[in-house]
Amino acid sequence: MVKQPKYYFEAMLGISEPWSIQDVTIDEKNKLIQINLTFHTEKPRFSFFSKAPENDTHKIIDTGLAKRWVHASTGYYTCHIVSSFYDPTISSPGISRNALMQPNFLGEPNRNYTHQLRQQVALANIRGMAADAISNMLKVDVGVVEEILGDIERTPETYRMATCLPCPSDPIWENIISDKFHLKTQLFPLKLMLSKLKLSMIDPKVDIKLSDAVNELRKFIISHINTLDAEISQICALSTKKQAIEERHNTTTKLVLPALKNNIWLKLITGKIDLNSTNMPLNLFLVRLRHAFQNTDDHNSKIFSLNSLREFFRKNARSLKKELILINQLMNAPEEQKFSLPDERSDIWKRILKDDNFIPSSHIAYKLLLSNLRSQLLMNPDPVVELNAARRVRDFIKHNQRFMQQELRMVLSSNQ
């Protein structure tokens, strides 16, 4: 790699005053870029807002202890951010609420990754990607991805969905405030907020920085995160043109909304069946309901969650036509026979892992899993790793019997 000036990396990573790059180290052999950051105290200035932004820089101090965070990869190079300047008070079992307002290139003192990497992993997870697939896409170790997903799971539900919001340096915020991107909303306080911010940016009498306006908008959205599913879908680019077209079509197919006592709702909320929906408000709602359902032993609370899911389908029947059709098909389909699979120590699983042509399959997720496991075994042919890989293949086929009948029959016939 040709050595680039520091300001090149500052522009690429969204680093601006009072932050700057102190040093850049490039390890060609290990394809690693290390960015060392420094911080200069910024002079206070008049703000349009009555309160200082939540990420006020006075919290950033020189701790004297350099901290290293894994950042989003730069091309084929892994990127690490190193700095002794950060807020040492940010610490919690999950993602801290204050951390959501920090610059994208920093991380929490008790974490090993930056906020931008966390946001990318959270967004990919919302879109239904598995940890292995996220690891391959972002070019980071799968252990880091699993650590981030675990931290997100431990984040309080009141603002957990905010972990997937774009970081303050993302252009989407400037585009919203400058009206280059029109954020559609029915929430009146948000409409007032947007109007105030847009006017403040063009009023010569108001002295306000764009970063302050972005922080104020993000702070508002994080505070109301659980009532802004449609707005989050727009900001995170989760909505699709296909979904918009379907919303404009009247539903003509006679569909039945299953009764609350139908076990289809229990299967949906526990993840036993997957509708493969592209409707992001539904996916966001399901994530929230599943967490509430799994973390309570109260029978009435579980019934309430199931009823909330059914009511969501009832109120959004027009935009969920495809999902309702699939629910009706699953509801009317006879229960498929459950087969007893060979033990994970059976040689059949080892043969599947070694021979791509032994049991061919067109199931994309299954093929991706096999490809990933084979790569792991190639790098580390340890018996324990092989047994764990066999267990994962067996579990995948076991939990997807409905969609893998052909593969299932071949496994059973080959084991006889």
Task: Output phi, psi for 36, to 5 deg.
Answer: -100, 120
51: DSSP letter: S
Helix (H), strand (E) counts: the chain: 17, 4
CA distance linking residue 20 with residue 22, whole number of Å = 6
The DSSP element (H or E) to which 404 belongs, if any, is none
CA distance linking residue 330 with residue 290, whole number of Å = 20
Contact present, 57 and 66 (Cβ < 8 Å): no
Contacts of 329 (CB under 8 A, 6+ apart): none
The pTM assigned to this predicted structure is: 0.56
Contact present, 16 and 10 (Cβ < 8 Å): yes
The DSSP element (H or E) to which 96 belongs, if any, is none
CA distance linking residue 348 with residue 335, whole number of Å = 27
DSSP 244-272: HHHHHSPP-S------TTSTHHHHHHTTS
CA distance linking residue 395 with residue 204, whole number of Å = 63
Predicted confidence at residue 4, as pLDDT, reads 62
27: left (phi over 0), alpha (psi -120 to 50) or beta: beta
- Residue type, position 390, single letter: A
Predicted confidence at residue 250, as pLDDT, reads 40
For residue 224, the SS3 value is: coil
CA nearest to 33, candidates 67, 66, 75, 86: 75
Helices 188-202 and 210-223: crossing angle in degrees, nearest 10, is 180
Per-residue pLDDT of the chain (416 residues; tens, 9 = 90+): 555 678 788 888 888 888 889 899 999 888 899 999 999 865 544 444 444 444 444 478 888 888 999 998 888 888 999 999 888 887 778 898 888 888 899 988 889 999 999 999 999 988 888 888 899 899 899 999 999 999 998 898 888 889 999 998 899 999 999 889 999 998 889 999 999 998 888 777 666 788 889 999 999 999 998 888 889 989 988 754 444 434 444 444 467 888 888 888 988 898 878 787 888 888 888 888 988 888 888 888 899 999 999 999 988 888 888 888 888 888 766 554 556 788 888 888 888 888 888 888 877 778 878 888 888 888 888 888 888 888 888 888 887 776 777 888 888 877 66
Predicted confidence at residue 130, as pLDDT, reads 86
Predicted confidence at residue 102, as pLDDT, reads 87
Give the chain's radius of gyration (CA, Å). 25
The two structure tokens encoding residue 32: 């690693």
CA distance linking residue 181 with residue 192, whole number of Å = 17
Predicted confidence at residue 45, as pLDDT, reads 46
Predicted confidence at residue 271, as pLDDT, reads 80
CA distance linking residue 125 with residue 283, whole number of Å = 11
Predicted confidence at residue 146, as pLDDT, reads 92
Would you call the peptide bond into 44 cis, given omega within 30 degrees of 0 as the criterion? no
Predicted confidence at residue 36, as pLDDT, reads 92
Strand partners, 61: 86
Neighbours of 178 (CB within 10 A): 14
Q: Tokens 């899911």 identify what position?
A: 309
Contacts of 269 (CB under 8 A, 6+ apart): 286, 289, 290, 293, 305, 306, 309
Predicted confidence at residue 338, as pLDDT, reads 54
Neighbours of 373 (CB within 10 A): 21
CA distance linking residue 268 with residue 41, whole number of Å = 52
Contacts of 382 (CB under 8 A, 6+ apart): none
Contact present, 49 and 216 (Cβ < 8 Å): yes
